[in-house]
Amino acid sequence: MRFRSAGLGPTELKGRIAGLAPVGEDLLVLHIHTHSPVEWNLKAAMQRKDIPKVIRGMLKPAIFFHMVRTMFYLKKNPKELEDIMDKSIST
């Protein structure tokens, strides 16, 4: 995964999902471990109202087929592209 933050300027963080767990009655927490350029552990807590948006987004045909193609039909270790994310951060 790749991340940007307005506080980090143009720096791009790279990381992996470390886990996904329910917390309390209405939170679903995504645990992320960044490995480049720094090692951090991040958490993103989705509230009840966020979860349907995530599911609807993943079920859009273009997104769903992109995920399937990425998981099953691309090279296992493709050459990683240089920084591909937009460097402009809107606040």
Residue boundaries of the structural domains of the chain: 2-72
pTM, rounded to two decimals? 0.71
In whole angstroms, give the CA distance from residue 56 to residue 27. Answer: 18
pLDDT tens, residue order, the chain (91 aa): 888 888 888 888 999 999 999 999 999 999 999 999 999 999 999 999 999 999 999 999 999 998 888 888 776 656 666 666 666 655 5
User: Residue 38 class from Cβ within 10 Å (0-12 exposed, 13-18 middle, 19+ buried)?
Assistant: exposed
Token pair belonging to 65: 């087929």
Residue carrying structure tokens 């960044």: 34
Q: First CA to last CA across the chain, in angstroms?
A: 21
Q: What share of the chain is helix, strand, coil (3-state, %, to 5)?
A: 25, 35, 40
